[in-house]
Structure formats: structure tokens, C-alpha cells
Structure 1
Amino acid sequence: MDIGPSVRVMTWNLWWRFGDWRRRREAIVRTLADERPDVLGLQEVWAQDGGENLAGWLAERLGMHWVFSRSPVQERWHARNGGDTAVDVGVAVLSRHPVLETAERRLPTAPGFRDDGKTALHALVDIPGGPLPFFTTHLNPGSGESAVRCAQVRELAAFVAERAGGPFPPVVTGDFNAEPDFDEMRLLCGYKTAPAAPGLVLLDAWRFADPTLPQGTWDVAHEDAVGFGLLPSCVDYVLVGPPGPDGQGRIRGARRAAAVPVDGVHASDHAAVVADLALSHG
């Protein structure tokens, strides 16, 4: 069915450099080639010190533009990788269209909690009918860290509000490590409680997905296991502001992606989220 002119956006946590990362990155690039997102937010992107960056490697293979935000705190990641300090982690944006400008915002922690070095990355993308203000981030993961994530969401919302504007609504993507009914998600979306930034409302693309299809993106019970066939939690999101004056950004549909193995290997321990957004009424 022809859904009219649209832009495809996607978010995906790439599981840093865990597991068989060389085989996994081949599975990642094949999955992205099949899904063909126009703009893509990535989390847990690895970057070698002075060397290769996974986002850049993917962009070269796919013919896309890319920008990267390196985490300012790396110690926990290095410790999880056997103490190897040569490979860092961050978030990235890939785009088939030129990136007009970029910015990043350091996200806070909360008293009594560790600083995990989280950032939010903004890319203003020159799409047809745009520009599109696109954001991606990765919030603290702890099951008892909702207070941290609420603080991070307030900073993220202020960042989005500062850089939103124009006919296309902001698109905010990422691994929020929170399920839809958590305080931090209600706060960020701003339509079930007072918004984190005055006037900022973001629609969860999952609300426009086929309810008969799976929507979970991560197995909350087993951090290092891929359990997409069970009852995984939905912690990865595409959030979109209300449509523009000519219908720009209207969510036409959303679905889970990257949830099956490629040549016998799961590309990541997270599934991805794909959403198609209208470029205009139609």
C-alpha cells in the first residue's frame, strides 16, 4: 500500500563491543541495508582510541552521513571489557540526507548515584520538507535509577525544546531503559503528566504500531541474552512531536525490527524500532 511521501526513522542499541562483534557488525550492516532508514539513532556505539568508529564504518558501507557523541565517562565500560581502555562508547546519528548542524548535551546524574557519562546528540537533518530536528540518547540502566533518568529526561527535554522549531516536529530516539508507564517516560512525553519542558509534547510511536505484533525490545531478566521470542520489555523508543502545519511528522506506523538472527547471529541484544513519518498530508 502506498502511504505517500514519508521519512523512515529508526533507533537501535548496538550492544557495544560485546559478544562476537565482528560477525555482529556484518549482521548490523545487512539489517540496516534491508530496513533502509533515512535517519537513524544509535546507542552503545564503539569507537577505538584514534582508530575506527562503528558509526563511521556503517556510514561508509551504507553511503550515509554520520555524527558521534563520545561518553565523557568510560570507566564502567572499560571494566566490562576486561580493562581495555582503547575502545570507548557513545551515541551516533546516521542520515541519508546532509546534516546541517549538530550539538550535544551532557546529561546529569542524581545525588547518591554514579555518573555514567550519558549525553544527548542532536542532528539537524536536511530532509525534503525539513529540516528535521533529530535527537538520540541512552539513559542510565539501573532498575533502581528512575530518579536519575527523571533528571536526565528534564535536561534532555530542555535540549530538545531549545532546538525544535520549523515545520517538522522533533524526533527523539534512544534506549531509555524504562518501560512506557515509568515516571521518566510519562514525564518526557508530557501528555500523561506535566511535561518536562514547558509546551513540549512527544508522541510515542509505539501507540501507532499494530497491537497484534511484538513490541518488546530487550529481555529485562537476562542482560546478556536475546529473548525476543518471550516477553521482553519495551525500553527503546521513537518519540515525535505533534505534526506540523501540513502534516509533517505524522506517525504513519511503527514496528519492531532486527529481532531475528542474520546468518545465525543476533546483531544486538536489543531489537530496533522503525517508524514512518509523513512529509506532508496524504
Structure 2
Amino acid sequence: MLGVLLAVALAALPARAAEPVEQGMSLVTFNLHHDREDWPQRRQVILRELQALQPDAIALQEVIQKPHVRNQAAWLARRLGYDYQFVSTDPPGRLKRYGNALLTRRPVLARGERLLAPLTDYRTVAHLRIDVEGQPVNVYATHLNERSDERGSRIRAEQVADLLTFIATTSGDAPVVIAGDFNALVDASDLSALRQRYGDSYGSVHVNNELAQISTLNRHYYDAPSRIDHIFFQQDKLLAREARLLFDQPYAEGRWASDHYGVWTRLQFAP
């Protein structure tokens, strides 16, 4: 009898609403360091980590193909089961090509590329619009000028301006994410035009931490910490929920996945 009464009482309780599912996407940006330092071994380490993460999109810099080295983005994409977009200033058909790439496990709605101004610097941006559970998202990948002097700063500012123009003409109404090796700290004047419109995912998540000591340059190769690899997001349409470094530990004694660390972030679509 007691069991019957308990069952009746439980049935009378209001049903709990299901926990809302955060809809969003995850991304990785990573400078591959082209084929230096035992690429056949490094690529296996990189592949295992990406297989475990299954990010929706991956931005790669310093991607190379040449005789006896298959296009690195193509190799990773095939083993991950991802689509990919490779961009280079080297024309198709040339034996050696060098550039940037975007990989995605999502359906591709549109793709494009642009050679950034000034054209003498041979910098590019790749673009994919992907379908994330019915939500179109624009993802851009780039790699800006590497000079650390005043001239490099001016060149990067020009590249950012051209990048923003390209985004304005290709993004439509869909949210925008921009990833890559910017060769500049997030608060550098070179990136001010970008920062005015887009949020820094890593900095947004770790806002209360001492970010000056965070580096995406591998401290095994570089003395001073420098966070120059970024994932920027459109703040009125996306929220940064998680962000962390990847490949920041050696996979063997004295062996690293790259001379950069990667950055992983999880973004949520804004309500």
C-alpha cells in the first residue's frame, strides 16, 4: 500500500524541464611548422589529438606540399574524414606550394579565398561557410606578416584592413569566426580594427588570468612568451565558453608537434 501511495505522489510532481543544450561549435588553429623536424612522426601526434577532439573546423598555417611530401592539409583531412580548402600564392600545378588551409567535418555551403594586400607579401585568407546543425557559420583562416619591426606592424594593419573588407563582402548575415597566426599580440595596434569588431576567444574565457605569461610560441624554441595565434569571434552572435592550448607538451624527449602551440575553443550561438 505504501508503495502505491508513493508512486501516486511521484506521478503528481511536475515534470522537470530538460536541460537546454548549448548549440555551438569548436575550432582549432595550429601552425604546422611545414615539414620540419620529422613530419612523418609529428603528423601522427597531430592526427591523434585532432581525432580525439573532432573540432568542427581547423585552421592550419604553414601548410606545404612538395615532391615526396603530400599536401599536409590534404593528408590530415583524408584521415580525419574532413573536407578542406587549401590556399596558396603558388599556382596550382606547381610542385611546391605553401599556404594556409581550413578543414571541416561539417557540410560546406560556400568557399573562397583572397590574396591579401600588399600583394608583395604573399599572404592569403581562406574562407568556408559551413552548416553547424542548421546554422551557417563563416570561418576564415589567415597568417599575417611575421616582421617584428615598425614595417611589419604597418603591413599587418594593411592586411587586417583587407581581411575585414573580404569578410564584409563574403559573410552575409551568418556569424563570423577568424582564426590563424597573426604574428601579433591581441592588444597590438596592428589588430585594433579587428579587435573593435571581434572578441578574442582565449582572452574572453581566461579574463581573470595573467595572460601576459600565456604563449602560443613554443617556449622550447622561443624565450619570451608571446600569444600570437588567435581565434576571434563575432560577439553579437557567438559566446566563447571554453579555450585552451594544444600540443604544449613534448610527445617524446625533445620532440614537439610544432614550434607553435595550438589553440582550441568552444563557441556557443548567442540566444
Matched to 1:96, the amino acid is: R
User: Is the partner of 1:216 in helix, strand or coil?
Assistant: coil
The equivalent position to 2:230 in structure 1, one of 225, 229, 237, is: 237
Counterparts of 1:8 and 1:266, CA distance in 2: 23
Q: 1:209 aligns with which of 196, 205, 208?
A: 205
More strand by percentage = 2
Shift of 1:3: 7.2
Once the 2 structures are TM-superposed, how far is the Cα of residue 37 of structure 1 from its aligned partner? 1.1
Structure 1: segments with no counterpart, 5+ residues: 74-84, 191-200
Q: Name the CA distance, whole Å, in 2 between partners of 1:261 and 1:68.
A: 28
Deviation, structure 1 residue 51: 7.2
Partner of 1:260: 249
SS at 2:248's partner residue?
coil
1:70 equivalent in alignment to 2:88: yes
Q: Please name the residue that 2:168 is paired with.
A: 161
Q: Which residue among 124, 127, 130 is the counterpart of 1:122?
A: 127
Cα displacement (A) at 1:109:
2.5
Letter of the structure 2 residue corresponding to residue 132 of structure 1: V
Residue correspondences, number: 245
- TM-score scaled by structure 2? 0.82
Which of structures 1 and 2 has the bigger CA Rg? 2
Deviation of 1:99 after TM superposition, in Å, equals 1.3
| 1:196 match | none
Give 1:193-208 correspondences, 5 Å limit.
201-208=197-204
Structure 2 counterpart of 1:194: none
Say which of 158, 172, 185 aligns to 1:151. 158
1:224-276 deviations in whole A, cap 9, x for unaligned?
Answer: x535xx752000000011233xxxx2211222122112244311111111111
**TM-score in terms of structure 1 length:** 0.79
Could you say which residue in structure 2 is the equivalent of 1:108? 117
Q: Secondary structure at the match of 1:159?
A: helix
Name the CA distance, whole Å, in 2 between partners of 1:15 and 1:50.
17
CA-atom RMSD in angstroms: 2.5
Q: Helix, strand or coil: the match of 2:191?
A: helix
Pairing partner for 2:72 from 37, 50, 54: 54
For residues 12-56 of structure 1, the C-alpha deviation after alignment (integer angstroms, 9 at most, x for no partner) is 111011221111111111121223211111110112369721111
Higher helix share: 2
CA distance in 2, matches of 1:122, 1:31: 24
Q: Which moved more, 1:122-131 or 1:144-153?
A: 122-131
Distance, in Å, in 1 between the alignment partners of 2:204 and 2:32 is: 24
> What residue identity is the alignment partner of 1:58?
L
Tell me the equivalent position of 1:226. 221
After superposition, where does 1:156-195 map in structure 2 within 5 Å?
156-166=163-173, 168-190=174-196
Hey, what's the Cα distance between the residues in 2 that align with 1:261 and 1:278? 31
Q: Distance in 2 between matches of 1:139 and 1:184?
A: 10
Structure 2 residue runs without a partner (length 5+): 1-19
* Identical aligned residues as a percent: 32
Q: Are the aligned partners of 1:44 and 1:91 in contact in 2 as well (CA < 8 Å)?
A: yes
